[in-house]
């Protein structure tokens, strides 16, 4: 069956510092290549947020991040859409602002949307910058066929440290890089968080380019599982994954 | 040394620069400009200011166009005839060690034109007391190691709030971030030099409001930041003065962005202070000198690589890539045939380790062209091109990629980021 799917890139004027718009492009193409009728909308902060099946929230600098959080709280559409079953991919600053609290530029706590049970504080150590490899495990989301996602690969660039509460689950365990930074002394332990159909990660920018299975997981959530997602020829993505997994520093 | 005597420590530091440069050259480690400058600054941390004292200094900064504009401005400030050297860091070594090396290399030069990394502009302004500061544009670039672009703008603004009326600031009024940075300076020459990449200037740098564009201008919808009245602006293939007069721009370097660089350089030259009783060139004289520059640091040069004629173009960030895609469109519109295209992307230290920016480049515009993806990060590029639905071949080795694109004897266009470009030019 065909179904109409709306993918919204949230506030590219505020959140889109690291090529995050690419995630919207990837989701839209992977849906369209399966014969799904897709609308890809870029939703500016000055306008009411449209209803969508799948929202992509990107990274941004401290000031725009706070502004985006305020706009989204005032607008109210995103929490309502999530309550109705919409899916969310939130990366980096976007991940922080869908949690309960995150720090502004001065380190003061700002209220987030509370779509994930996660709290971010300003890290005390160095900014986390570099390649990340993280392995899904028990508690990680399952694909439509009940499998774990393959190993996640990406690039992180953030100063925050995030603790995931009991109301959400971690996305994966860090093999290389920092991720949530919830290990001893702000060191690596877990990466990302998810609950329901909301997924947050520090793998910033075009995380879906390296993790097509994650893209398909989100598409499955957004279509409510009522569309079968035929396999695509992901040879180029697999070549990129192999190269990046080999390049990540080992611990 | 430009009429200002250096103390013993600075003289020792200058000797250290020369010695380090000489050693570096002998060891075959390039021209050694940066190594020498570092050695000099280690001996005398105040060396840069002492070397600049007594000279007229022009600083050029911005995300894109720095090297080209620096070169054009140096030419514009060089009168015809012998013996008026201008000190200039033409190698692209745009941090203080490179500035020291450039000044040591030209002890007789009464003028210096220095390309400055965006993050070092405040320091250069403080230490060199420039008579001209040229601010081209600001957009996202190498975010894994360079401060976010708004922080750069704020740093510039703080530095320029402290300059006096003897410092002429030549600023691109079409860039809201540059406008915000330059506004507190007492003597600003506003130039309408265009904006290739507006995505980083949607949020107001002053108040966080929304920048709205239209009618050739822009304004914040919340505070009073807006495009200032300009002295001169790009118009068609030339420029238009505030009084409506037209100015022809003859620029050998291709593309609208190079006309912008030329206009900024010419206004800066005309705004420069006199040296030894000789005034700066007029705008017309400056433009006439700029018209004689046919190549800057290998950009747009045509090289032969294994029998393939390749035109080398440098693009380091989304704004730079977009400008080159605009140029290709301009050329097609002017009747130039499509050439096979080699795209070369690395992510080494000088490039930034994170090629996420590939997703900000509108590669969709290349649909229908012959494209070969190459460089250390050709796999990232290949995935980007797949989702842009641009047919392509992926070949990690740049020489092989050139052969695949131009093996049939066709001339090839190459767009490469920093280290990929340097490798292809053949002197790293």
Domain ranges of chain A: 4-247
ipTM for the predicted complex comes to 0.96
B61 with B199, same domain: the answer is yes
Chain B hits for A240, CB-CB cut-off 8 Å, are 379-380, 382-383
Q: Out of B145, B202, B387, name the one closest to residue A26 (CB).
A: B387
Q: Is B198 on the interface with A (CB under 8 A)?
A: no
B154 with B285, same domain: the answer is yes
CB B350 within 8 A of CB B380: no
Q: Looking at residue A25, what is its pLDDT?
A: 97
Partners of B133 in beta bridges: B59, B169
Q: Looking at residue B399, what is its pLDDT?
A: 93
Packing angle of the helix pair B33-43, B96-105 (nearest 10 deg): 100
CB B280 within 8 A of CB B77: yes
DSSP chain A: ---EEEEEEE-TTTS-TTSTHHHHHHHHHHHHTTT-EEEEEEE-TTSPPPP-SEEEE----HHHHHHHHHHHHHH-HHHHHHHTT-EEEEETHHHHHHSSEEE-TTS-EEE---SSSEEEEE-SS--EEEEEEEE--TTS-B-TTSPBPPPEEEEEEE-EEEEE-TTSEEEEEEEES-TT--SGGG---EEEEEETTEEEES--SSHHHH-HHHHHHHHHHHTTT-S-------HHHHHHHHHHHHHSPP-
Q: Looking at residue A175, what is its pLDDT?
A: 96
Q: Is B29 on the interface with A (CB under 8 A)?
A: no
Q: Looking at residue B82, what is its pLDDT?
A: 65
Q: Out of B221, B358, B382, name the one closest to residue A236 (CB).
A: B382
Q: Is B257 on the interface with A (CB under 8 A)?
A: no
Mean pLDDT of A197-202: 98
Q: Looking at residue B143, what is its pLDDT?
A: 57
**Chain A to chain B, count of Cβ pairs less than 8 Å apart?**
89
B222 with B325, same domain: the answer is no
Please give the helix or strand (H or E) that residue B344 lies within, else none: strand B341-344
CB B20 within 8 A of CB B47: no
Q: What is the CATH number of the domain that holds B274?
A: 3.40.1190.10
B344 with B276, same domain: the answer is no
B379 with B241, same domain: the answer is no
Active site residue A92: yes
Q: Is B379 on the interface with A (CB under 8 A)?
A: yes
B236 with B357, same domain: the answer is no
CATH of A4-247, one of 3.30.1490.100, 3.40.50.880, 3.40.50.300, 3.10.520.10: 3.40.50.880
- Residue at a domain's end among B252, B268, B290: B290
Residue B357 lies in a domain: yes
The tens digit of pLDDT for each residue in A142-177 reads 998 889 999 999 999 999 999 999 999 999 999 999
| Token reading at A202 | 């520090």
What is the count of structural domains for chain B? 2
Q: Is B367 on the interface with A (CB under 8 A)?
A: no
Residues found in chain A? 251
Q: Looking at residue B156, what is its pLDDT?
A: 97
Active site residue A56: no
Per-residue pLDDT of chain B (428 residues; tens, 9 = 90+): 444 578 888 888 888 888 877 777 676 655 557 888 898 999 899 999 999 999 999 999 999 999 999 999 999 999 877 667 899 997 778 999 999 999 998 889 999 999 999 999 999 999 999 999 999 999 887 655 455 788 899 999 999 999 999 999 999 999 999 999 999 999 999 999 999 887 777 888 898 788 899 888 999 999 999 999 999 999 999 999 999 999 999 999 999 999 999 999 999 999 999 998 888 999 999 999 999 999 898 889 999 988 899 999 999 999 999 999 999 999 999 888 889 999 999 999 889 899 999 999 999 999 999 999 999 999 999 999 999 999 999 999 999 999 999 887 889 999 999 999 999 998 43
Q: What is the CATH number of the domain that holds B421?
A: 3.90.190
B280 with B359, same domain: the answer is no
Residue B373 lies in a domain: yes
Cite the beta strand spans of B140-274 per DSSP E: 168-172, 188-192, 211-214, 217-220, 232-235, 238-241, 246-247
Region class of A148: left (phi > 0), else alpha (psi between -120 and 50), else beta:
beta
> What gap in Å lies between CA B47 and CA B44, rounded to an integer?
5
CA dihedral B365, B371, B377, B380 (to 10 degrees): 50
B206 with B322, same domain: the answer is no
Instruction: Name B380's Cβ contacts closer than 8 Å, sequence gap at least 6.
Output: A209, A240, B345, B347, B355, B358
Q: Out of B145, B208, B386, name the one closest to residue A236 (CB).
A: B386
- Chain B residue with minimal CA distance to A236? B383
Residue B17 lies in a domain: no
CB B21 within 8 A of CB B102: no
B263 with B345, same domain: the answer is no
With 80 as the cut, is the pLDDT of residue A225 above it?
A: no
Residue B34 lies in a domain: no
Range of the domain at B398: 302-425
> What gap in Å lies between CA A133 and CA B322, rounded to an integer?
32
B3 or A215, which is more confident? Answer: A215
Chain B hits for A237, CB-CB cut-off 8 Å, are 383
Residue B145 lies in a domain: yes
Show which of residues 221-240 on chain B sit within 8 Å of chain A, judged by CB atoms.
221
Q: Out of B148, B151, B357, name the one closest to residue A19 (CB).
A: B357
Which of A49, A80, A61 has its CA nearest to residue A20? Answer: A61
B255 with B110, same domain: the answer is yes
Chain A hits for B382, CB-CB cut-off 8 Å, are 236, 239-240
B319 with B200, same domain: the answer is no
With 70 as the cut, is the pLDDT of residue A117 above it?
A: yes
> What gap in Å lies between CA B404 and CA B151, rounded to an integer?
43
Q: Are strands B56-61 and B132-135 parallel, antiparallel or unpaired?
A: parallel
């Amino acid at each position: 069956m065909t179904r109409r799917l709306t993918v919204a890139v949230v506030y590219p004027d505020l959140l889109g510092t690291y090529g995050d718009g690419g995630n919207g492009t990837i989701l839209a193409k992977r849906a369209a290549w399966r014969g799904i009728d897709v609308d890809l909308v870029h939703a500016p902060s000055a306008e009411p947020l449209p209803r969508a099946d799948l929202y992509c929230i990107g990274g941004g600098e401290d000031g725009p991040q706070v502004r985006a959080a305020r706009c989204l709280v005032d607008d109210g559409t995103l929490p309502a859409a999530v309550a109705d079953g919409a899916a969310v991919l939130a990366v980096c600053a976007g991940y922080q602002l869908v949690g309960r609290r995150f720090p502004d530029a001065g380190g003061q706590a700002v209220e987030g949307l509370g779509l994930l049970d996660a709290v971010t504080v300003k890290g005390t150590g160095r900014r986390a910058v570099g390649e990340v490899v993280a392995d899904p495990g028990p508690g990680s989301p399952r694909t439509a066929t009940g499998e774990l996602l393959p190993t996640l690969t990406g690039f992180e660039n953030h100063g925050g440290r995030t603790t995931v509460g009991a109301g959400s689950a971690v996305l994966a365990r860090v093999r290389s890089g920092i991720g949530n930074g919830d290990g001893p002394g702000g060191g690596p332990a877990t990466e990302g968080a998810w609950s329901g159909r909301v997924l947050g990660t520090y793998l910033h920018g075009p995380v879906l380019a390296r993790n097509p299975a994650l893209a398909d997981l989100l598409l499955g959530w957004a279509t409510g599982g009522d569309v079968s997602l035929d396999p695509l020829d992901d040879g180029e993505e697999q070549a990129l994954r192999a190269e990046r997994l080999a390049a990540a520093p080992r611990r | 040394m430009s009429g200002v005597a250096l103390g013993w420590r600075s003289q020792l530091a200058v000797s250290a620069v020369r010695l380090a440069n000489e050693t570096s050259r002998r060891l075959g480690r390039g021209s050694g400009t940066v190594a020498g400058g570092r050695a000099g600054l280690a001996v005398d941390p105040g060396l840069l200011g002492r070397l600049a004292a007594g000279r007229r200094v022009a600083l050029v900064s911005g995300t894109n166009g720095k090297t080209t504009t620096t070169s054009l401005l140096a030419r514009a400030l060089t009168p015809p005839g012998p013996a008026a050297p201008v000190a200039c860091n033409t190698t692209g070594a745009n941090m203080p060690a490179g500035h020291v090396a450039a000044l040591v290399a030209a002890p007789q030069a009464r003028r210096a034109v220095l390309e400055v990394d965006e993050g070092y502009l405040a320091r250069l302004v403080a230490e060199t007391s420039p008579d001209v500061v040229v601010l081209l544009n600001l957009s996202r670039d190498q975010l894994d190691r360079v401060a976010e672009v708004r922080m750069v703008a704020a740093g510039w603004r703080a530095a320029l709030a402290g300059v006096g009326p003897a410092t002429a600031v030549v600023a691109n009024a079409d860039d809201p971030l540059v406008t915000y940075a330059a506004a507190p300076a007492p003597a600003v020459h506003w130039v309408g030099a265009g904006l290739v990449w507006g995505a980083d200037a949607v949020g107001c740098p002053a108040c966080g409001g929304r920048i709205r564009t239209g009618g050739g201008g822009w304004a914040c919808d919340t505070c009073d930041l807006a495009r200032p009245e300009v002295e001169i602006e790009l118009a068609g293939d030339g420029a238009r003065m505030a009084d409506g007069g037209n100015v022809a721009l003859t620029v050998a370097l291709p593309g609208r962005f190079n006309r912008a660089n030329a206009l900024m350089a010419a206004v800066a030259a005309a705004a420069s202070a006199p040296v030894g009783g000789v005034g700066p060139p007029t705008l017309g004289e400056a433009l006439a000198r700029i018209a004689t520059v046919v190549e800057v640091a290998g950009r747009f040069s045509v090289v032969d690589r294994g029998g393939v004629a390749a035109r080398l173009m440098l693009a380091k960030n989304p704004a730079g890539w977009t400008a080159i895609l605009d140029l290709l469109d301009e050329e097609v519109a002017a009747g130039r045939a499509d050439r096979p295209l080699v795209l070369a992307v690395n992510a080494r230290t000088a490039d930034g380790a994170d090629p996420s920016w590939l997703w900000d480049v509108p590669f969709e515009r290349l649909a229908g062209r012959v494209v070969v993806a190459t460089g250390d990060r050709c796999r990232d590029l290949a995935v980007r091109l797949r989702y842009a639905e641009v047919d392509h071949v992926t070949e990690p080795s740049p020489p092989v990629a050139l052969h695949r694109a131009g093996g049939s004897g066709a001339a090839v266009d190459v767009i490469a980021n920093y280290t990929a470009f340097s490798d292809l030019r053949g002197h790293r």
